[in-house]
Structure 1
Amino acid sequence: MARLFSKLKAIDFFKKIPSDLTEATLTGAWISILAAVIMVFLFTAEMMSFLSTTTTTQLIVDRSPQNELLKLNFNISFPALSCEFATVDVSDTLGTKRMNLTKTVRKMPITTELERMSEKGSAVEDSSHKPGPKYDEEGRFDDEPDIDITVPLSHVNFEATLARYPIVVVNFFAPWCHWCQRLEPTWEAATKEVHDKYPEWDGRIRFAKVDCTQEMELCRTHFIQGFPSIRVFRKGHDDIVIGGMHEHESYMGDRTKEALVAFADSLVPSAGQPHRKHAALSAAPKTPGCNLAGFVMVKKVPGTLTVVARSEGHSFDHTWMNMTHLVHTFHVGTRPSPRKYQQLKRLHPAGEGEGDLFWWREKREKRGEHPQSTHEHYLQIVLTSIEPRRSRHSGNYDAYEYTAHSHTYQSDAIPSARFTYDLSPIQILVQETARPWYQFLTTSCAIIGGVFTVAGILDALLYQSFKVVKKLNLGKQG
């Protein structure tokens, strides 16, 4: 055993020198104190560096999962676009087109000053797809003598006519409108039959019509934007009062003679009862504007979100369409919580510059000098992934920052508001990283060993220099 221990001593890296062979010097003491101070200072700095985190930002190829959908959130007000016809469409470069999205979109009537009619307000219900109204076969009334018993009302006699009869059904039309032309013979035939069934002495219901090309201000006063629009007026106004709330009425059913006559028959019992709601009538616009708020899920490819006036069975006069709008908010993806938003500002301050890159929080108005204008916003979107050090899995989240450019132009197509988005293939990765423990140990050893070695070299140089100086002095004295 003693022999084994003797052999182990041969591999000792740190062979000891007997203490009686060493010599302590005052210079070595000062160098040792200085070296100790340097060691403590560097070790403390290294410890602080190890305990702190660093933020790195790098550009990588977008690593999002395939077939992942993108959420577009919006809140936009159109002071001159009725909720009756406002629709949201989405299309992309893959050929996908979705028209009149309603499931995740809420419509709220607003005034030209962007205010709701009441404090409570009521969102407009809309189905995802409503088939267009049915018409009589073309030429059905060709064999009958020309029927033109209803002279279009004007602003001169409009109010007087409404006040004279308990119920007046008014067809607001435009002669150039294709659907109005198809409805014209049917409307005249239905008017004749209704007036024969309920003559003047009965006085409970009347059919009338208004030519909106001749009475533009009258039609605009009643928020007519699509042709033909059939409104029901009771006691001189087109709304009923239920529970203190006013509901306007618009006929959206089939446009055949039988349907119109049956509709008139069902209305007659409610004559003189302005508080009775009719099941076949839909809510007509109370205000000229509409607020659209909600979200749509889209594929992560370039596409366009379009707000436009559309309806099956209605025509629109492009010169009447004013797509002026106000963007209250528009953001991509899930909006971060306040805690994550603070992390975002701390880790990625470049995303919170003057442009407010993550969403439009300030109201931005887009107004055209000409009513027949299309407003387009082009958004260049970049995915930003935030990976904080703590809560690496639960704290990770994605934010989408973008730059937006807007312009207005006129075209022969129906005016609209278009939000064209283009996703960058490059992703911004913001990571909070900490140094591994083995790097801390390696650096600490390097600090202690390096300072000790350098101090030893300096001490040896000074010691040998002093010895040489002493020898030279002794030689001169001898």
Structure 2
Amino acid sequence: MARLFSKLKAIDFFKKIPSDLTEATLTGAWLSIVAAVLMAFLFVAELSAFLSTTTTSQLVVDRSPQNELLKLNFNISFPALSCEFATVDVSDSLGTKRMNLTKTVRKVPITLDMERQHQGAAVEDTAHKPGPKYDEEGRFDEEPDIDITVPLSHENFEATLARYPIVVVNFYAPWCHWCQRLEPTWEASTKEVHDKYPEWDGRIRFAKVDCTAEVDMCRQHFIQGFPSIRVFRKGHDDIYIGGMHEHEAYMGDRTKEALVAFADSLVPSAGQPHRKHASLSAAPKTAGCNLAGFVMVKKVPGTVHFVARSEGHSFDHTWMNMTHMIHSFHVGTRPSPRKYQQLKRLHPAGLTADWADKLHDQMFVSEHTQSTHEHYLQVVLTTIEPRHSRHTGNYDAYEYTAHSHSYQSDSIPSARFTYDLSPVQILVQETGKPWYQFLTTSCAIIGGVFTVAGILDALLYQSFKVVKKLNLGKQG
């Protein structure tokens, strides 16, 4: 055993020199203190670097899962577009077209000053309904004396409404295709209703208003599509239920049978402004509409289209004003406070105030008639991968640049948001130093400082000995 231990001593890397053969110097003591302080400082600095993280940014081809959908969120106010006809459409470069989206869109009536209507609830569209039915063309061509009603004017409109408990008014425009389809049916229905409920009965009247002749009066009643059929009770086009006024619009079929049946069902409520009719829909009480919600789209170039649309109605393009205020338009999901701070810390260029919503609180005014507004958005995906939650804490942040302009065209005015997604993704990864690198660096710091200090001490010691010998030689 003793021989084994003696052989092990032969491979000792750190052979010791007897203490009586060493010499301690004051210079060596000072160098030892400086070296110890320097080693401690460098070790603490290296430990801090090991505990901290660094970020690396790189551009890669978009790694999003195939067929993943993108969420577009919006909150936009149109002060001159009625909620009655305001619709949201989506189309993309693959040929997908979805018209009049309703499930994820909420409408709130607003005034021209973009103040929300206090009375009444928000409008949540139901499933898409087909347009109203019409009588076959030419059905009433052989009817004698078919034009029995004279359009009301601003001079006798209020007096007519005040005279009868219920007045059903057809707001039309002579150039409108659907109005031309309705005209003979309306006249035939008017004749039958007035024969059934003559003047002495006085409970219900049918009337019509030419909106090309009475522009101001039609706009006063927020008529934007033709024909629009409104119901007036005791001189008002609203009913008072539960402390709220509700305007009434007839949106049913436009055949003679349907209109006469509607009149028959409406007559019992004559003189009862608190009684709501099941066949009537809420008519607009204000000029504008706020549309808020989201749409899910494919990650290909496409367009979100805000426009007035209705099956069975025509629109005067010169009446359409698509001025709008964009309260917000952002892509993807808003980050939680924790993820926002993470994103703010790791984003390559930091976050600006409008980093996710370049169109926030911007107003776009239609200075000319038939003006369409188009916003072109270029969307870029930035993926943040934190160090300690690489799989569970990843966050996708979508940013975009926006370019807007307006132009005049013969088509119906609208507001279009055209988006295009970059195929390149910015990948930001948070990384730290491995433990073995920290250990290697720490050893290098200690060994390096110790070696350099030893070399410096040896140079100073030898220099002092040479100087001492020279001084002794001069004295001898």
Alignment TM-score, normalising by the size of structure 1: 0.95
Secondary structure of residue in 1 paired with 2:297? strand
Q: How does 1:133-212 map to 2 (within 5 A)?
A: 133-212=132-211
Using the alignment, how far apart are the partners of 2:350 and 2:165 within structure 1? 62
Using the alignment, how far apart are the partners of 1:372 and 1:379 within structure 2? 23
Residue type matched to 1:209 in 2? K
Residue type matched to 2:8 in 1? L
Asked if 1:280 is matched to 2:279, the reply is yes
Secondary structure of residue in 2 paired with 1:406? strand
Using the alignment, how far apart are the partners of 1:345 and 1:270 within structure 2? 62
Residue type matched to 2:58 in 1? Q
- Stretch moving more, 235-244 or 466-475: 466-475
Secondary structure of residue in 2 paired with 1:136? coil
Using the alignment, how far apart are the partners of 1:7 and 1:96 within structure 2? 84
Contact map agreement 2:80 2:323 (CA 8 A) in 1: yes
Q: What is aligned with 2:90?
A: 90
Secondary structure of residue in 2 paired with 1:340? helix
Per-residue deviation at 1:446?
Answer: 0.5
Asked if 1:107 is matched to 2:142, the reply is no
Using the alignment, how far apart are the partners of 2:340 and 2:219 within structure 1? 45
Q: Which runs of 5+ in 2 are unaligned?
A: none
Contact map agreement 2:376 2:418 (CA 8 A) in 1: yes
Contact map agreement 2:330 2:357 (CA 8 A) in 1: yes
Per-residue deviation at 1:3?
Answer: 2.7
Secondary structure of residue in 1 paired with 2:225? coil
Per-residue deviation at 1:58?
Answer: 3.3
Residue type matched to 1:308 in 2? V
Q: What is aligned with 2:369?
A: 371
Per-residue deviation at 1:388?
Answer: 3.2
Using the alignment, how far apart are the partners of 1:60 and 1:125 within structure 2? 41
Alignment TM-score, normalising by the size of structure 2: 0.95
Q: How does 1:2-81 map to 2 (within 5 A)?
A: 2-81=2-81
Using the alignment, how far apart are the partners of 1:457 and 1:65 within structure 2? 61
Q: How does 1:63-462 map to 2 (within 5 A)?
A: 63-118=63-118, 121-348=120-347, 350-353=349-352, 356-359=354-357, 362-462=360-460
1:456/1:39 CA distance change after superposition, 3 Å: same
1:58/1:121 CA distance change after superposition, 3 Å: farther
Residue type matched to 2:379 in 1? I
Using the alignment, how far apart are the partners of 1:19 and 1:470 within structure 2? 24
Structure 1: 4+ residue segments shifted above 6 A? none
1:303/1:121 CA distance change after superposition, 3 Å: same
Per-residue deviation at 1:474?
Answer: 5.0
Secondary structure of residue in 2 paired with 1:419? strand
Contact map agreement 2:135 2:254 (CA 8 A) in 1: yes
- Stretch moving more, 129-138 or 13-22: 13-22
Contact map agreement 1:357 1:403 (CA 8 A) in 2: no
Secondary structure of residue in 2 paired with 1:206? strand
Secondary structure of residue in 2 paired with 1:460? helix
Using the alignment, how far apart are the partners of 2:392 and 2:463 within structure 1? 64
Aligned-pair Cα RMSD in Å: 1.9
Residue type matched to 1:410 in 2? Q
Per-residue deviation at 1:206?
Answer: 1.0
Contact map agreement 1:84 1:284 (CA 8 A) in 2: yes
Per-residue deviation at 1:51?
Answer: 2.3
Per-residue deviation at 1:359?
Answer: 2.2
